[in-house]
Structure 1
Amino acid sequence: MDRQVSFERVFPALPAGRQAVSVLDAGHRLVGCLEYQVCHVCRIGYVANIAVASHWQGQGLGRDVLHTALAPCGGYTWSTSRQSSEGRRFFAAMEEETDVAFPAGGVQCSHMTS
């Protein structure tokens, strides 16, 4: 399978509003997406959802979008929404790779929920 993809970012409307990184295939069809929030005041990040189309899984797209979110947030504390069994394996691998913990059911700060 040809791994020609592009990334498209959506930035938050609020200071700690929801952001997204979408993965588009060569035909500009959505094949993956990471929805997350970052509060620079509290130095925390929250992964609300990450998904990659089944026929694109195993090619590093989830890894790439998560690294995109983490890049400007060095030293931040991260958490995720509830995790599926696949999500637990993914986040365990990412924790080992990045030295960032991704506990499930994490807490969002007041800046993220207002």
Structure 2
Amino acid sequence: MKTCRESTKAITCHKLYLSKSRENHSSHDRVKPERKIEKKEIDTNILRERMSSSTDWGPIIVAVVLFILLSPGLLFQLPARTRVIEFGNMGTSGISILVHSILFFCILTILIVAIGIHVHAA
């Protein structure tokens, strides 16, 4: 067998080196035991990820806009005092507050959960 210095081709030298390294190392030497991760390490990693990630402002912005627009009497009131719906009367009642609250919840849920509006700030 030729050694690396005696061989004229680098490929032969490389093959010789690989065959010797395989003979010297058995299969159990190559496998490193897995390191056990403690619960404290996991908690700190999760905390770091949450602190480094940007905040999702989508639900907050949508909720504020819907709260202003769906205020009873501002744009419309459903049900109104004399009709089913009135526009811009600036009045309210207990039933209209309940109806507007249900509308607010339904529209907010659709926009946030179903459509998935997200606004990430840096």
Structure 1 length normalisation: TM-score? 0.21
Structure 2 length normalisation: TM-score? 0.20
Q: Highest CA radius of gyration, 1 or 2? A: 2
More helix by share: 2
